[in-house]
Chains A and B, each alone.
Chain A
Amino acid sequence: MIDSVVVITEENTAEVRPDEVITLSRELKDEGFRFVTMSSAELEDSVCVLYHFDKDLELRNLRVDVPKGSKIGSIASVYSCAFLVENEIKEHFGVEFDGIPLDFQGMLYSDEEVQKTPFCNIGLKRV
């Protein structure tokens, strides 16, 4: 039986480079994987972005370390529903996603007067 609680290990999580994410997402989609969501956490010099996919309830993850303040390609061209969580991560951690079809410009939740990314301690200013 598949477990509902999955400890992240090398078996279920592939470490990938930022430029590989779109290609690998497309491969997972072709294999029949559903996009579940993305998670992110602040590391020292980077933001760790985890992409979660599942097939028949079994989870598969991609992990990307994105240097703070840098860009990564949006996977919305593969999984269109990813735009929402990409906007959330952009707003909270300052990770820029190239090619989000609906870009809230860092204002999905907060208003214009909020100038810093709340979850990323280096406090990136909005562009």
Chain B
Amino acid sequence: MAKTVLPFGPQHPVLPEPLHLTLTIEDEIVKEAIPKLGYVHRGLEKLAEIRDHNQMIYIVERVCGICSCMHALCYCQGIESLMGLEVPSRANYLRTIWAEMHRIHSHLLWLGLFADAFGFESLFMQFWRIRERVMDLQEETAGNRVILSVNQVGGVRRDISAESAQWILDTLKKVEKETLQLKSTILDDYTVKLRTVGKGVLTKEKAYELGAAGPTLRASGIAQDMRQTGYAAYSELDFAPVVETDGDCYARTVVRFNEVFQAIDLVRQAFSKLPEGELAVKPKGLPTGEVISRVEQPRGECLYYIRGAGKKFLERVRIRTPTFANIPPLLDMLPGCDLADVPVLILTIDPCISCTER
């Protein structure tokens, strides 16, 4: 049969954000995929030239609605390093707690979208119902559901009281129990297995060579997670990356499921060790030099390159988001798969185009 060129996206029922792929198919088998970006490109990096380094915190938080807290954390860590600031221990623990709550809500959001992609609308609503509990925690502790704005250069803006901490722990117990109930519902389902096991396989070698990040990398058997570097309070918590070895759509789902439970455990550990003390140190001077700051977002490793010349405005802020890193592996996975599997396959890298295009 002759080759057919099929535009996929930017508007597609399974895509929460606008990614366009030009698919070349033959007998409903994908032969080639070429991406087109730019539908939500905002040029946020350019704003570093006209917004000072403190205002940039609010801008980087708006790179992505799902992992806003981690963007600010990554950026602040870089600026703190350039200014030689030592962040108080309590602030590091609070940063870790908010970051892990972000991971839980991000993965639950994705699991809901994943269920919806199969047509499991009730399951989709169940995941999002659980997620709402985490959103409530964020609203209560940070004042906002999504854009938390808790990070500042030198520490954090807000504290978490002992009462709030107990409420968070009680709520996370419910989140854990309810997510566990849904785990077998989705992972043991015949249809889900049929459409994910052995689909979109990314081998360990390919994942490494193509620079995959986050759950996409770890589902292919590579135990790499930026939290291993021990930023914020991770060095004082018991942590090992969640790894699967099959590298298929199913493995990527399992990794995200298990990371929800791991994140809950990390929040518990952080609260159990939360030290008393200051929330922030006062910054002095202006950022000078070049730095690379990396954190592990829900979708994977995020990298900030920051260049300051001792002025109010930074010379350059460059952001490499995890979805950007996962596009080449996605393009490698697509050839050979059925056209019907393309939506699920794209979804399993948890694409965030808002992040990617900045």
Contact = CB atoms under 8 A, between A and B. Distances in A.
Binding partners A and B: yes
Interface of A: 1-8, 34-37, 39-42, 50, 52, 57, 59, 61, 79-81, 83-85, 102, 107-111, 118-119
Given A6-B291, A37-B325, A41-B316, A80 B231 contact: no
Nearest to A2: B229
B210 A80 contact: yes
A4 B231 contact: yes
Given A50-B305, A57-B229, A81-B210, A4 B77 contact: yes
A84 B324 contact: yes
Q: Indicate the member of B37, B210, B229, B290 with the most A CB atoms within 10 Å.
A: B290
B77 to A, nearest CB: 5
Contacts of A5: 77-78, 80-81, 231, 291-294
B211 A109 contact: no
A7 to B, nearest CB: 5
A119 to B, nearest CB: 7
Query: Chain B contact residues (Cβ within 8 angstroms of A): what range?
Result: 35 or more
Contact of B41 (A34, A61, A110, A119): A110
Contact of A109 (B41, B210, B303): B41
Contacts of B210: 80-81
Contacts of A37: 211, 303, 320, 324-325
Given A7-B289, A57-B224, A109-B357, A39 B318 contact: yes
Contacts of B290: 7-8
A57 B294 CA distance: 10
16 contacts: A4-B295, A5-B293, A5-B294, A7-B81, A36-B301, A36-B320, A37-B303, A41-B316, A50-B305, A81-B328, A83-B328, A84-B328, A85-B324, A108-B38, A109-B357, A119-B46
